[in-house]
Structure 1
Amino acid sequence: MKEILLLLSICFTVSASAQRAMTISGKAQGTYYVVKYLGRDTVSLQPEIEAIFRQIDRSLSLYVPSSLINRFNKGDKIMMDDHMRIVVKKAQEVSRITDGLFDITVKPLVDLWGFGVVRHNNGKPSEDAIRRTLRQVDYQNLTLRSRYLIKKQPGVEIDCNGIAQGYTSDVIAKFLLSRGISNYLVDVGGELVALGNNEQGKPWSIGIERLQPGGGAQNLLMMTNGAVATSGNYQRFFDEGGTRFAHTINPRTGEAIHNNIITVTVTAPDAITADAYDNALILLGVDKGLEFVRDHPRLNLGAFYIYKDADGQVREKYSEGFFEQR
């Protein structure tokens, strides 16, 4: 689960329309969720939304022993359901575009560093252990054949935590649309997707918390159709030898992230895309990450970095047009 520094700034007042502001919240997928929407039906959609969480968990959760992903990791192939097929196909697409910087076969490395399902703090692994584990990590060791996901070699395991919550936000958004709801904000652990307006008839406002003295949610994104995700290195980490190693693992080098990035917030047309690319952009770093966004206009990405400069001062950089209304 990625920890997020996104704050919601959403005001609801009495509306002149027949629609009412509804809020559903709870815990799922090891994190929180909040769904806000305008609707004429006052019957709560929470039971159906939580059923969606359970269905996706049965497919993609490493914490559900009988899930499809766990069965695949223990075997050599699996017949995918629609959830796994969509997520794996998207993950492989992002892997190709980022030249393997995003890679769901990173699970053995995540486990080696102690950030997996079974947490441990044994410190930085040896170079030899990292080198051996890297042999199992390569998105090209996965084959999609019809509805089957197949390993090309033993020992390959996948971890979809870097993309599954964004996907879940999109699924819930599509569910709301199927119920005739066209004004909503869905937030699953900080992976957000928005459509339409709030009860005041204004775009949904999403605040980005700034890690500066007296900071707070000072920068606002105004969204009527888009998604936001954030990746950071400020909560799941350990310190060793004066270096902070965070939970994002570089699939190319096998190293846990230890650069100067505090957070990167990514905007995209949908949450699965924003969620996947925030992993790659935090590994690329500020300058290369912003260059990647500029060089891939068809992806329609935006990026906002909070980082420390050479003097330890907190700085911000963002892509052109990042704060324009979407």
Structure 2
Amino acid sequence: MLVPAVNPKAARNEPMISISGEAQGTTYHIKYFDSQNRNFKLQIDSILADFDKCLSLYRKDSEIVAFNNGTGSHRFKSAHFYPVLQKSLEIHAATNGAFDPTIMPLTEALGFGAKRTNPELANVDSLLQYVGFEKINFNSDSIFKANTGVRLDMNGIAQGYSVDVVSTYLRSRGIDRFMVEIGGEVVCSGNKNENIPWIAGIEHPLKRGQLFATAKLTDLAMTTAGNYNNHFTRNGRVFNHIINPKTGSMEETSLLSVTVFAKDAMTVDGYDTAFFVMGLEATKEFLSKQNHLEAYLIYTDEEGKISSYVTNGIKDFIREIPNP
């Protein structure tokens, strides 16, 4: 069971440094306590720029774009590619294929990619030949694809890993109390001064910019997935469209928001994507058999009302905010 722990080191009253910036097409915010009052913004910006050179789909010179545009094998240049593939394979296997980074041909064709397309024109059956984790092979040195049409989209997990990378850097500099947030993916280590835990917000899935709940975090990672731009109403209930990588179809889910908690951000980032594909009941069943994941799910019930479900290990640290 995952529960935030009290960190005795948090009793130190040290100055808190706050830095922020842009990376991966989004923003980051980092707070940490350092008796030396050091500012690591330049170093962190450099780390995130190197990360983008590896896994960003928006950089034409990135490694992942080179692999996607290539015809066969690609030898890794960065140390980041392999760990993300390893974790992707782990989550793919655990969720019976609900998480699959080879989904990129489908996400583009069905209008979920960077370019807006008409999903009615998509020939899903022809694209499925390029989708499936078995279409690639990899080891610690390189990756190979069996078909030139196979392409990877790591956006469902890479951002969480970038949070872990920055966290690892801070620890290497002797920082053990911090909050790293990149595009909504969060890792918190230790507590703030006076043993006060870090607080992270969970956005209302139907009201952008408004919080639905908050979570107290100590030595935990948290990510939230919400299909904010693709929900629709049918018979008084709100649904989301989600692409099932196993069938290629756009399916309906009553899940509106999935927040996952674990010890590292890459794990929770991958699982929040998978849970959307799995749906409410399958996710609840899956979570009941896990001891390394906790989750907070927001969904619409049979009466069309917004409801929530929280696992036992995190429920005492979630506070829902009354909304008018």
Normalised to the residue count of structure 1, the TM-score between the two structures is 0.86
Measure, in 2, the Cα distance between the counterparts of 1:231 and 1:151.
Answer: 29
RMSD between superposed Cα atoms in Å: 2.6
> Following TM superposition, by how much is the alpha carbon of 1:57 offset from its aligned partner in structure 2, in angstroms?
0.5
Deviation string for 1:27-68 (max 9, x for gaps)? 210111110110123332111111111101000001111111
Asked if 1:308 is matched to 2:300, the reply is yes
Distance 1:210 1:67, change over 3 A: closer
1:194 aligns with 188
Q: Secondary structure at the match of 1:43?
A: coil
Q: Please point out which of 301, 313, 319 is paired with 1:321.
A: 313
Q: Please point out which of 112, 116, 136 is paired with 1:142.
A: 136
1:283 aligns with 277
> Following TM superposition, by how much is the alpha carbon of 1:220 offset from its aligned partner in structure 2, in angstroms?
3.4
5+ residue gaps, structure 2: 1-9, 319-324
Asked if 1:116 is matched to 2:113, the reply is yes
Which amino acid is 1:272 matched to? M
Distance 1:136 1:27, change over 3 A: same
5+ residue gaps, structure 1: 1-14
> Following TM superposition, by how much is the alpha carbon of 1:227 offset from its aligned partner in structure 2, in angstroms?
0.4
> Following TM superposition, by how much is the alpha carbon of 1:231 offset from its aligned partner in structure 2, in angstroms?
0.8
> Following TM superposition, by how much is the alpha carbon of 1:245 offset from its aligned partner in structure 2, in angstroms?
8.4
Measure, in 1, the Cα distance between the counterparts of 2:141 and 2:32.
Answer: 35
Asked if 1:107 is matched to 2:66, the reply is no
2:45 aligns with 50
1:3 aligns with none
2:167 aligns with 173
Q: For the Cα contact (< 8 Å) 2:240–2:256, is it kept in 1?
A: no
Distance 1:234 1:257, change over 3 A: farther
Q: Secondary structure at the match of 1:200?
A: helix
Measure, in 2, the Cα distance between the counterparts of 1:107 and 1:120.
Answer: 14
1:5 aligns with none
> Following TM superposition, by how much is the alpha carbon of 1:174 offset from its aligned partner in structure 2, in angstroms?
0.5
Q: How does 1:209-248 map to 2 (within 5 A)?
A: 209-210=203-204, 217=211, 219-235=213-229, 237=230, 248=242
Normalised to the residue count of structure 2, the TM-score between the two structures is 0.86
Q: Secondary structure at the match of 1:193?
A: strand
Q: Please point out which of 75, 81, 94 is paired with 1:79.
A: 75
> Following TM superposition, by how much is the alpha carbon of 1:211 offset from its aligned partner in structure 2, in angstroms?
5.2
Measure, in 1, the Cα distance between the counterparts of 2:310 and 2:59.
Answer: 38
> Following TM superposition, by how much is the alpha carbon of 1:218 offset from its aligned partner in structure 2, in angstroms?
6.0
> Following TM superposition, by how much is the alpha carbon of 1:85 offset from its aligned partner in structure 2, in angstroms?
0.7
Measure, in 1, the Cα distance between the counterparts of 2:154 and 2:206.
Answer: 32
> Following TM superposition, by how much is the alpha carbon of 1:260 offset from its aligned partner in structure 2, in angstroms?
1.4
Matched residue count: 305
Q: For the Cα contact (< 8 Å) 1:246–1:256, is it kept in 2?
A: no
Deviation string for 1:297-317 (max 9, x for gaps)? 3xx111111111122111111
Which amino acid is 2:149 matched to? G
Measure, in 2, the Cα distance between the counterparts of 1:123 and 1:112.
Answer: 6
> Following TM superposition, by how much is the alpha carbon of 1:186 offset from its aligned partner in structure 2, in angstroms?
0.5
Q: For the Cα contact (< 8 Å) 1:101–1:280, is it kept in 2?
A: yes
Q: For the Cα contact (< 8 Å) 1:123–1:238, is it kept in 2?
A: no
Measure, in 1, the Cα distance between the counterparts of 2:308 and 2:256.
Answer: 10
Q: Please point out which of 15, 25, 31 is paired with 1:30.
A: 25
Which amino acid is 1:88 matched to? L
Which amino acid is 1:99 matched to? N
